[in-house]
Structure 1
């Protein structure tokens, strides 16, 4: 039984230092994506910055330049550009 105590401690430390913070970030990102609205300025996981022009069930249309409209998956949203600047 005493052989398993260090293993159990390692698993607990791993859970609290790695898994829980990742789950919180994932929940926060899902909340951010579900609260997006037309006009929000976003940044994608690929680094594209644009303004949401239309929202669909599983995708968004963003305007990244004057006349450039791009359709992206909702899962490609990394964050809202204004919020990232506020955190710095």
Structure 2
């Protein structure tokens, strides 16, 4: 008869769903506050870099202000001074400068 007592579940044990619920809620909050905004920002940056055209002014992550000379597949040719053009990785473009008129 003792083996029947050992096989019975304990009365104070919470169910699997009840024990995982706080972890699921924590992950949902983390996703909404961290992951989703980061994905939106990356999508916005990718669209901005794809729309760059000749003559646009940009700022690189290194702080260099340059003018786009050509938008290529993975790189941007940028003019940083008269007669000086450099190839910049598209990921290194921080933002586009808006020219005030």
TM-score normalised according to structure 2 size: 0.75
More displaced stretch, 67-76 vs 16-25: 67-76
Number of residue-to-residue matches in the alignment: 84
1:81 is aligned to 97
Aligned with residue 9 of structure 1, among 19, 22, 25: 25
Structure 1 residue 68: Cα displacement: 2.4
Equivalent of residue 57 in structure 1, options 73, 76, 81: 73
Gap regions ≥5 residues in structure 2:
1-16
- Equivalent position of 2:38 in the other structure: 22
Please identify, of 47-56 and 33-42, the stretch whose mean Cα deviation from structure 2 is larger.
47-56
Cα drift, residue 54 of structure 1: 1.8
Structure with bigger RCO (C-alpha 8 Å, 6+ apart): 1
- Name 1:45's counterpart in structure 2: 61
Q: Which has the larger radius of gyration?
A: 2
Structure 2 match to 1:31: 47
RMSD between superposed Cα atoms in Å: 1.7
By how many angstroms is 1:58 displaced? 1.5
